[in-house]
Amino acid sequence: MKAICFNFEIHQPFRLKRYRFFDIGRDHYYFDDFTNDDIITRIAHNSYIPAAETLLRMVEANQGRFRFSIAISGVALEQLEHYVPEFLDVLKKLADTGCVEFVAQPFAYSLASLTDPEEFAQQVADTCSILRSRFGVTPKVIRNTELIYDDDLAPQLVDMGFNGVLTEGAKHILGWKSPNYIYTAASAPDLRLLLRNGKLSDDIAYRFSDTSWSEFPLTADKYIDWIASTPREEQIVNIFLNMETFGDLHPATTGIFQFLEALPRFAAEHGIDFVTPSEAIAKIKPVGELSVMHPISSADEARDTSAWLGNRLQNEAFEKLYSASERVRQCQNRALKRDWQYLQSCDHFYYMNNRAAFSPYETNFAAFTNYMNVLADFLMRVEEEFPSQVDNEELNSLLMTISNQGAEIEALNKELSSMRKNIEQYNIEHRNRPECKTEAPAAEAPKKTRAKAEPKAKAAPKKRATKKAEK
């Protein structure tokens, strides 16, 4: 039986304010709160909230047969909690249905997986922690930033406890193969790969309201017919979309919400199910392994990482940022750590791309200049925590000491506690030994001996006195 696996992604970065060269060293706050509030509030009310409410109605109307997954970045969660908390209430209702799977992804929606495995693991752990506390879920499937994936990443994902990853069905990787199967990772056979069907996803994401498109208008029955017409042996069709597709990229007036809500009815007519990623992994056997030698993504036609690291400006900013990663990780300055996460969002590097479709800057060089001004001030603050004059060997020793001092203190406290218990136990056992009880009377014996010896010492003079009287 054929199934559709929907994944809806939610992400918004903390956008930077215009930061001049003369602000370096004077202004340590980098973010445009007004713009961030305005953008996420507008998108939430135009897109996120009505889309989530539509999905909730679909779950309830189909008695749980409609199922899907959501991936949300930590930086988006923080903004939504601050500016649009009512949306999180809707997400909680979706989580309570048991028909929605929350998929993990990096907290900052960063490119850390390409250069810093430790930072990547920490960011994923941060997102999972928020999902557990907010929605009571523990993700077992992960979606990296913009579906970035390669063979080097797979073993780390398994070590982190994931059994599945969502990534791009890139044509240059698949060749003659279809994305409508489940594959295993060549470098980690325990990891399952769910590949995005690029055409069917983009038909909704980019072409739905395009009146020049030959298939316009796209209706729910037509869309399901396309899926049903795929070869019978192709059991899974993965449709991965940004949630802002519904209501923001395509306004409500285009009929996008009605299209979404009608999909389950036509799917049922063709015997097509809806599944979450974990259900797909559990039900569908992989057909073979897939090797991805170089990082792939869902961006641009090339489906690689050039959208963020394709020119010298981007690479210079990227390398400069991550040169401070080890120092920032070891510091205890919460404001510094917060800024570190926000500055890692891939959007900042995307704006430095001269082909960027959505950018708040006039040119990619303006984006680069603004970011580097911010980064210069940030690195000055890092320098105050851990001076760069310290050589690598000395720094590593210092960082190791700082990292381990808590563990060392805890170990010493445990050792001290153990020694105290041993002493107390020894004292108890020593007092209760039978031989210890019989020793007490023996200690009094010398007193009795001395008491009997004293009269003999006094009797001697009497005898000497008697002999003298006889004489």
The count of other CB atoms within 10 Å of the CB of residue 260 is: 19
Query: For the residues of 100-166, what is the DSSP string, one character each?
Result: EEEEB--TT-BSGGGT-HHHHHHHHHHHHHHHHHHH-----EEE-GGG-B-TTTHHHHHHTT-SEEE
DSSP 8-state assignment for residue 231: -
- Bridge-partner residues for 8, per DSSP? 70, 241
To 10 degrees, the CA torsion angle through 72, 76, 80, 86? -10
Phi, psi of 250 (to 5 degrees): -125, 105
CB 157 within 8 Å of CB 136: no
The count of other CB atoms within 10 Å of the CB of residue 258 is: 12
Q: Which of 119, 146, 168, 244 is catalytic?
A: 146
Q: Which two tokens stand for residue 351?
A: 């704006």
Using alpha carbons, select from 112, 123, 170 the residue that is nearest to residue 299: 170
CB proximity list for 202: less than 8 A, separation 6 or greater: none
Kindly state the helix (H) or strand (E) to which residue 189 belongs, with its residue range.
strand 188-196
CB 292 within 8 Å of CB 303: no
- Bridge-partner residues for 213, per DSSP? none
Alpha carbon 233 to its chain centroid, in Å, reads 35
Alpha carbon 105 to its chain centroid, in Å, reads 5
Q: Which two tokens stand for residue 213?
A: 């498109």
Q: Is the peptide bond before 217 cis (omega within 30 degrees of 0)?
A: yes
Q: Which two tokens stand for residue 304?
A: 């690689």
DSSP 8-state assignment for residue 230: S
Report the distance separating Cα 410 and Cα 290, nearest Å. Answer: 46
Q: Which two tokens stand for residue 81?
A: 């909690």
Say whether 435 is catalytic.
no
Number of H-type helices and E-type strands within the chain:
19, 10
Q: What is the set of active-site residues? A: 146
